[in-house]
Amino acid sequence: MREKLITANDAAMMVETGMHLGVASGMSMNPMPVIREIIKNGVKDLTVTSVITGGYIVDLLIGAGCVSAVRFPQISMGEYGLAPNFRSYSQAGKLTNFEMT
């Protein structure tokens, strides 16, 4: 029987520059070890689709310079307020946004 579990590093190695990455990114149940590895691997030019309200991990990927486009119903940090990287990158024209309501 083939092992179904892989390490965070192995999962992050599957993500390459220019890919489209889907994430369920509320403020809980985030795959932070995988996100940290994606950032450490220097992946760039990702299109990220946030399945639910985009939050901490989407903002972290944006701030690390990994994301060029984001598809989302909403990007916020919930009770913690606005997503600062999303806002500043959007206002500076460094991010292509596709709102999906």
Summarize pLDDT for 42-70 with one digit per residue, the tens.
Answer: 999 999 998 777 788 899 999 999 999 99
Left (φ > 0), alpha (ψ -120 to 50) or beta: where does 93 sit? left
- Looking at the domain assignment, is residue 4 inside a domain? no
- Looking at the domain assignment, is residue 84 inside a domain? yes
Q: What is the count of structural domains for the chain?
A: 1
Cα–Cα dist 37/43, whole Å: 9
- Looking at the domain assignment, is residue 22 inside a domain? yes
* pLDDT computed for residue 34 by the predictor: 93
Mean pLDDT of 3-13: 90
CATH at residue 71: 3.40.1080.10
* pLDDT computed for residue 10 by the predictor: 94
- Looking at the domain assignment, is residue 71 inside a domain? yes
Domain span at residue 66?
9-99
- On the 0-12 / 13-18 / 19+ scale of CB atoms within 10 A, 90 is middle
Summarize pLDDT for 20-48 with one digit per residue, the tens.
Answer: 998 876 656 678 899 999 999 999 999 99
- Looking at the domain assignment, is residue 3 inside a domain? no
- Looking at the domain assignment, is residue 15 inside a domain? yes
* pLDDT computed for residue 78 by the predictor: 79
- Looking at the domain assignment, is residue 54 inside a domain? yes
- Looking at the domain assignment, is residue 47 inside a domain? yes
